[in-house]
Chain A
Amino acid sequence: MRSATAITPASADPIVAIDGLRKSFGNVEVLRGVDLRVAKGEAVVIVGSSGSGKSTCLRCINRLEEPTAGTIRVGGEEVTGAKVDLNLLRRRIGMVFQGINLYPHKTALGNVTLALRKVAGLGKAESEQKARQHLELVGLAHKADSYPAQLSGGQQQRVGIARAMALEPQVMLFDEPTSALDPELVGEVLNVMVRTKEMGMTMIVVTHEMHFARDVADRVVFMDHGAVLAEGTPEDILVSPQHQRIRDFVTRSRA
């Protein structure tokens, strides 16, 4: 499933370019100079122990967290800085949450159409047609009129993916999309993510699903204490890691 040119040189026009990203909460520095390049169509999986700063790093990209220092560019445009139109920026960046966060008062269809109407400015018919297409892509066309409480966790997360994908973002951020799910529901969400990648979507995925990382990632990034400790092919990082810390992590993940 992995493309032949797994490692993307930093020079190739990246969709996401992060340089020297730092983030402090109070006087605790949780990101200590992160550099990351993600090329078009690439799927990068970020792994690392809990608290290493993976979520914070993702959330800086769409500025749900405000970076303390460093630059982030998405599609060549600088997204850090006060002048940036956040709503315009976020429209280009899809996000899928560990907590799923579907709107409970809206149907699956309503969850997907809201931003299509209010952000993309589509009319009612057009937005519904587009939302149905994207629900179809996650295999939930038949659940369009169901409310989140009537869906399984796996189905909810697939709607979450459709909601983000419908805006046709330049990059999709997944923050542990399957961590809140019952084990038997994880597979259906991962399958949708594989399909998302096959459609050519650029993806940055934080996950503890090592099979997904090995089989789907073009590149694996290991984060440790707020910085990138190592990055490379899934084999390099997860099968024959050079660092003791990564070996420990991989052993723990297998357990």
Chain B
Amino acid sequence: MDQIVRYFFDFSLMSAYWPDILRGFLITIEMSILTVLIGVPLGLAIAILRLYGFKPLNALIILYIDFFRSIPQLVLIMLAYFALPSFGLMLGPFTATVLALAIVLSAFSEEIFWAGINAVAKGQWEAGRSTGLGFNQTLVHIILPQVVRISIPPLTNRAIGISKGTTLGSVVAVPELLNVTSSIQSNVANPTALTVGALLFLALFLPFVRFTRWLERAYAHPRS
């Protein structure tokens, strides 16, 4: 027991590293938030574009979502960082990671929103249109609120899953939380750093999970 404490919970060893850990933590938060903030709205926008049903565009959209759902995130991050420069696009490690993750999340979100749009009964469109609402008005006021409601649970899972991919940023040397804590671990030859990392990841994602549970309840329409 004593050994376990000394091994995993020797916080005195961390004193010199708190600023680094904190910086890593903030970078992880920043990347996660940016990934969700870019990925989810982009997915929604693509799903709405797809709804307008321009044939060639829809073929492109399907190609996009199938490609980015299939390719491993790690590969995509490395491509964004190492390959894009040869196409004249130089991205920093932070930007490359966020871009790669946001695109993957957009592909998954699009599928979720698209399924949601199709799950709303056709009669909802007809009811709206029959009162003189236009296509866009019906979409915004009648269809999308119902789509968002049914999409929240699967969207939450995806967003969290992909945000955890921020740890992959370490391969292109983003000083995110896992990267920082694992190098501290090798410096001081004690894994307490990883304990700190784990606790901080919990501190980040647990409120997020709780928040989405709250969202689910807020968007549920009351049953009798």
Contact = CB atoms under 8 A, between A and B. Distances in A.
Interface of A: 62, 64, 86-91, 93-95, 97, 99-105, 114-115, 118-119, 147, 149-150, 160, 163-164, 167
Contact of B131 (A104, A149, A150, A164): A164
B134 A147 contact: no
Contacts of B146: 103-105
Chain B interface residue number, banded: 20 to 34
Interface in B127-157: 127-134, 137, 141-142, 145-146, 149
Given A101-B121, A114-B141, 5 more contacts: A90-B132, A94-B131, A97-B127, A119-B131, A150-B222
Interface in B77-121: 121
B137 to A, nearest CB: 5
Nearest to B124: A101
A90 B221 contact: no
B224 A149 contact: yes
Contacts of B128: 103, 114-115
Contact of A149 (B126, B129, B133, B222): B222
Contacts of A91: 131-132
A102 B141 CA distance: 13
B143 to A, nearest CB: 10
B123 A104 contact: no
B222 A167 contact: no
B223 A149 contact: yes
Given A64-B126, A105-B145, A105-B149, A99 B121 contact: yes
A114 B145 CA distance: 14
Nearest to A152: B224
